[in-house]
C-alpha cells in the first residue's frame, strides 16, 4: 500500500479481517492510527462442535444472578450426565469442556455462593489454563452467551515484559528498514456459545463407570457471573478469555 494513513488502507485491512472471521468481525480499525509506520494484523476464526452436546430441547429460561444483586432471565443449556473435568474449592467451581476435535478446550469458572465482580476471580487465574482438573461424573448447565469486546492490549502486554523488548533499538528491524515503534495493539473478539455439539463415542465406557460414584458427583449450574477461557490444548495458548456478568445472546 502507498500510505497507512489513507482511509482506503483501513478499508483493505477491515475487509481482510471480515473475510478471515467469516463476517463475525466486520472491522477492527475505524480510522488510521496516528503516526503509523507499520500495522500488523492477525485474525482468528474458530468454529467447532462440543464433544458432549447440549440438547437444544433441554434449553430452558432460568434466572441469572448479577453481581449487583439483580437477576435476569437467560436461556440455560443443560447437559446430560457424563464425565467432565472439574475443579473446585470452598469458593469456586469450574468445568473444562472439550470440543469434538479435542484440540481445543473451554474452561468456565463461577462462584459457589454469592455472585462476584471480575476482580474477585483473581485467585483462580491459573485455573483458566486447565491445571488441577480431575475427571468426575457430573451435570453442567451454562447460559447461551455471546461476547464482543475491543481493547488495546499494549498496557497489559507491557506489564508482561513487552515494554522492554519494544523499547530496544532495532527491535522491529526485521520488519522495516526504517525505525519503528509499537504504539498500540488492538484486539477485537467475538465469541458465541450455544448447544451445537457431537457425542464422543470414546467416552461411553467411562460414563457407565463414573455414574456409580454418586459421592463425587458434581452438579454445576452457571447461574452467576463467570470467567471463561478457550485455549489450544496442544500449545496451551489461551485464544479468548473474558468475564460474563450479564449473558447476552447474539
Beta bridge partners of 107: 96, 229
Distance CA 158, CA 166 (A): 9
pLDDT at 59: 93
Q: Any idea which fold 56-144+194-244 has?
A: Alpha-1-antitrypsin; domain 1 (2.30.39)
pTM to 2 decimal places: 0.69
Rounded to a whole number of angstroms, the distance between the first and last alpha carbons of the chain is: 35
Q: What is the fold, at CATH topology level, of the domain defined by 7-45+148-189?
A: Antithrombin; Chain I, domain 2 (3.30.497)
- Separation of alpha carbons 237 and 239, rounded Å: 6
As a whole number, mean pLDDT of residues 147-154 equals 60
pLDDT of residue 145: 84
pLDDT digit string, tens, across residues 6-59? 677 777 777 877 776 667 677 766 666 655 555 556 566 666 788 888 889 999
DSSP-based three-state secondary structure for 78: strand
User: With bands split at pLDDT 50, 70 and 90, how would you rate the model's confidence at 81?
Assistant: confident
> Which phi and psi angles does 107 have, rounded to 5°?
-100, 130
The residue behind cell 443443560 is 78
What DSSP letter does each residue of 142-153 carry, written as one string?
A: EE-EEEEEEEE-
Average pLDDT taken over every residue of the chain: 74
More confident call, 117 vs 147: 117
Q: Compute the distance between CA of residue 228 and CA of residue 231 in angstroms, rounded to an integer.
A: 10
Q: How do strand 218-221 and strand 134-143 relate by DSSP bridges?
A: parallel
For 104, 214, 241, the CA distances from 219, given in Å and listed in that order, are 23, 11, 24
pLDDT band at residue 62 using 50, 70 and 90 as cut-offs = very high
- Give the residue extent of every domain in the chain: 7-45+148-189, 56-144+194-244
Residue-wise pLDDT for 161-200, tens only, equals 555 555 555 555 554 554 455 555 565 666 677 776 322 2
Query: Cell match 434449553: residue?
Result: 59
Amino acid at each position: 500500500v502507498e500510505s497507512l494513513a489513507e482511509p482506503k488502507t483501513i478499508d483493505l485491512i477491515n475487509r481482510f479481517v471480515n473475510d478471515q472471521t467469516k463476517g463475525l468481525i466486520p472491522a477492527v480499525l475505524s480510522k488510521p492510527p496516528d503516526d503509523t509506520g507499520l500495522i500488523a494484523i492477525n485474525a482468528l476464526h474458530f468454529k467447532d462442535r462440543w464433544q458432549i452436546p447440549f440438547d437444544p430441547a433441554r434449553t430452558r429460561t432460568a434466572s441469572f444472578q448479577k453481581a449487583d444483586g439483580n437477576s435476569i432471565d437467560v436461556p440455560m443449556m443443560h447437559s446430560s450426565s457424563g464425565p467432565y473435568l472439574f475443579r473446585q474449592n470452598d469458593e469456586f467451581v469450574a468445568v473444562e469442556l472439550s470440543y469434538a476435535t479435542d484440540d481445543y478446550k473451554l474452561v468456565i469458572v463461577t462462584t459457589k455462593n454469592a455472585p462476584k465482580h471480575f476482580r474477585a476471580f483473581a485467585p483462580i487465574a491459573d485455573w483458566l489454563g486447565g491445571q488441577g482438573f480431575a475427571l468426575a461424573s457430573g451435570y453442567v448447565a451454562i447460559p447461551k452467551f455471546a461476547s464482543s469486546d475491543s481493547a488495546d492490549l499494549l498496557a497489559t502486554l507491557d506489564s508482561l515484559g513487552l515494554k522492554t523488548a519494544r523499547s530496544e533499538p532495532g527491535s522491529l528491524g526485521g520488519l522495516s528498514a526504517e525505525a519503528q515503534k509499537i504504539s498500540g495493539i488492538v484486539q477485537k473478539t467475538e465469541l458465541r456459545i450455544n448447544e451445537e455439539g457431537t457425542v464422543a463415542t470414546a467416552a461411553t465406557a467411562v460414563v457407565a463407570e463414573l455414574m456409580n460414584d454418586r459421592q463425587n458427583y458434581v452438579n454445576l449450574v452457571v447461574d452467576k457471573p463467570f470467567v471463561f477461557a478457550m485455549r489450544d490444548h496442544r500449545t496451551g495458548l489461551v485464544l479468548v478469555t473474558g468475564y460474563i456478568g450479564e449473558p447476552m445472546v447474539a
